[in-house]
Amino acid sequence: MITESLDRGRTWSAKRSLTEKGKRDDYFNCARISKLRDGRLAIICDKLSGFDKENTAVTYVWYGDKEGNNWGEPVVLPFNGIVPDKLLQLKNGRLIISNHSRNTKNNKLEQHLWYSNDEGKTWSDRITVAADDRYNLCEASILECDNNTLVAFLRENSFKGYDLLKVISYDNGETWSSVYNTPINCGHRPTSGFLSDNTVMITYRYIPVWMHNVFVAFLKKQDLLETERQNQKVRIMPLDYDRNYEPDLGYTGWTQFDDGEIYVVNYIKDDSSKAHIRGYSFYPDDVVLPEIKNDI
């Protein structure tokens, strides 16, 4: 489904369908939208069917015009895995698609990617972004830094309160480091990006035992490549709390407008029997105040 807002998320249009209606055992799962370097929009989504969904899902990509009014037929790619990150285009034009699937040998979740250097005409073989016998690694959010460097923030899915984890690539995603901790504990489904002042912002579900909260973390760009937890400074702000008897929340997306306003969307149940999308707006000054000097 697609809906549009012309007033920064205060009101929204009626929903319109991008795809046919799914079925209980054959459905589209988790869509992401991104803007390409030529201004076009791209929507990526996994389609799940059958029993072994994590390893049999396929990836759909739709390309639309700059305003999102017209969308082409989907490109269907045999990239097995679920919950893809947004279609990422690097500064050099490379396209990256990333998702996760289950390693049937050790029963652990792993994150993978494929890249294209010719605007999606051909794609690389599958590359392992993160795999570790200690962890279930999934739902990566990949952030492009400088000098061919990428950082992928990862959910750990053992429900043991592990930190949000990260891995680093120094060659535009072709090889990746081992897994490092971040100072963001109990983080699920991260969505990362740069604000206009180069602060890194990550929205995520906070889940020490079960899901009730969605938080926003702010990190310094210079700390992205730090590998020791204690060397990474972070400021964490609560965004919402799910009061529902059976809560479900924390799959988010966000953008920043030219005047600095930040707008976040979040999947949440709260006061409804079914999950819905809720929007939030704030400015950087709502997160960090200017330095306060004593007048005395």
Distance CA 268, CA 250 (A): 7
Residue 290 has pLDDT above 90, yes or no: no
- Phi and psi at 41, nearest 5°, equal -105, 150
pLDDT tens across 14-35, in order?
999 999 888 888 899 999 999 9
Instruction: Report the C-alpha gap between 116 and 133 in whole angstroms.
Output: 29
Average pLDDT of span 263-272: 98
Domains of the chain and CATH, by start: 26-286 (2.120.10.10)
What is the model's pTM? Answer: 0.95
The identity of residue 177, as a single letter, is S
Question: Helix, strand, or coil here: 284?
Answer: helix
pLDDT at 232 over 80: yes
Cβ-based neighbour number of residue 9 at 10 Å:
15
CB 105 within 8 A of CB 87: no
3-class SS at 130? Answer: strand
pLDDT, tens digit, 9 for 90 and up, residues 120-132: 999 999 999 999 9
Mean pLDDT of 252-262: 98
Q: In this predicted model, what pLDDT tens digit does every residue of 195-218 receive, in sequence order? A: 999 999 999 999 998 899 999 999
H-assigned helices in the chain: 53-56
The predicted pLDDT at position 50 comes to: 75
